[in-house]
Structure 1
Amino acid sequence: MDVRAERTRRSLQVALLQLARERPLDEFTVAEIAARAGVNRSSFYQHYSDKETLLADALDAAAEAAAATLPAQYEPPNGPPQALVHFLEHVDEHAALYRSVFGPTGSAAVLARLRARIDAIVREGFVSSADTAYDGLPIDIIAAGITGSALGVVEAWLMRDPRPSVEIGAEWVWRALLGPGSAWA
């Protein structure tokens, strides 16, 4: 990939996230994003068709950055994995933006991209794992269940007012994913 193009895309993503911390997504323009990124509007359109596509890329990059902290060999941790904590730190930092994505008038396209990214991360984790807990279930079913549960808890945590800490949110996601465990026996 062209280093300059990647740098421009990253600058646009950062600019969008900065502006979204200041005011809602529908209250700023492509021109403002480009100006904040230090590029012109035509550069924006060379990389993105609209703000929603840029937003999807920015949130996708955040999920990917969190996933990069996952170990190469999966070992079930005692508590929430650091990758989950890192991701929720990003969500917390950009809470208003994520609330708008998850909310009733949110972006189905952006949420679908985020769901796809997390689904891919879950699949990769299971491929590198020797866990037998889900033996007999297709990987797409496992990934869909974990992704849906995780995003559901993230959304519920995000919408609370006041919103609990990132650590509590990560614990909630983790406990929801683990289920009652031995309590079923």
Structure 2
Amino acid sequence: MDHKIAKRATVSSDARVVRSRAALRAALIELVGERPFAEISVAALTERAGVGYATFFRHYPDLSAVLTEVADGLIAELLELLVPLLRARDGLAVMRALTAEVAARRQLAHALLTGAGDSMRQTITRRAIDQAMAAPTDTPGGLPRELAVTHLVGATLTILTWWLDRAPETAADDVAAMLDRLVLAPVLEDQLPG
């Protein structure tokens, strides 16, 4: 009987952990929509999330760890959206879908790619490469898969960073065309029949 009680307490504790982490991630997404990441404090985040200050540190060592977790979720969502288009070899459709998502989440994308600093951008790039390597896509002819994925992810993130930071007035479809021309088309042309 005690075993069942202990097990139920563990499940309840796990549910609280899941809720607390989800609340912190959601609050961070809201806050980066209102102000630069560098201006967000743990106190502001926990207040918005409705989570205790000490609870934050039971789950994360710092704000960057929450942002990394948010990035992982966003990368997974983007890959789920983009992989079918990549498999269909429709480069412009891939990049239009990507830039539409980035435009819809502009503040979050800006926080991830520019607002949190170079270290965070490097972390996001590495994690995006790792997730893309695991995605079920074709390997471009004549290129090592890891090189092609590293190029695609790195160049795409560089151009998205340029857009968000230096040319925010540029239309999403125009950025999509640039991404297709500069990043995807040169890699996909090896795969296209003809």
TM-score by length of 1: 0.77
Q: How does 1:97-176 map to 2 (within 5 A)?
A: 97=111, 98-101=113-116, 106-108=117-119, 110-125=120-135, 127-129=136-138, 133-135=140-142, 137-176=143-182
**How much does 1:72 deviate?**
9.3
Q: CA RMSD in A?
A: 2.9
Higher Cα radius of gyration: 2
Alpha-carbon distance in 2 for matches of 1:78, 1:49:
39
* Alpha carbons of structure 1 residues 165 and 14: separation in structure 2 relative to 1, 3 Å: farther
- Is the counterpart of residue 17 in structure 1 residue 17 in structure 2? no
Identity over aligned residues, as a percent?
Answer: 23
Structure 2 portions without partners, runs of 5+: 1-10
Alignment CA distance shift 1:157-1:39 (3 Å)? same
Give the distance between the partners of 1:112 and 1:163, measured in 2 at CA: 25
Counterpart residue type for residue 79 of structure 1 = L
Uncovered stretches (5+) of structure 1, i.e. residues with no partner? none
CA drift of 1:68 comes to 2.0
Residue in structure 1 matching 2:88, options 66, 72, 75: 75
Q: Distance in 2 between matches of 1:91 and 1:134?
A: 34
1:119 positional shift: 0.9
> Which sits farther off after the overlay, 14-23 or 71-80?
71-80
Structure 2 residue aligned with 1:36: 48
Distance 2:177 2:107 in 1: 18
> Relative to structure 1, is the Cα distance of residues 3 and 142 closer, same or farther in structure 2, using a 3 angstrom cutoff?
farther
CA distance in 1, matches of 2:84, 2:30: 30
**Pick aligned residue for 1:85 from 78, 87, 99:** 99
Query: Which consecutive aligned stretches of 4+ in structure 1 deviate over 4 angstroms post-superposition?
Result: none
The structure carrying a bigger helix percent of its residues is 2
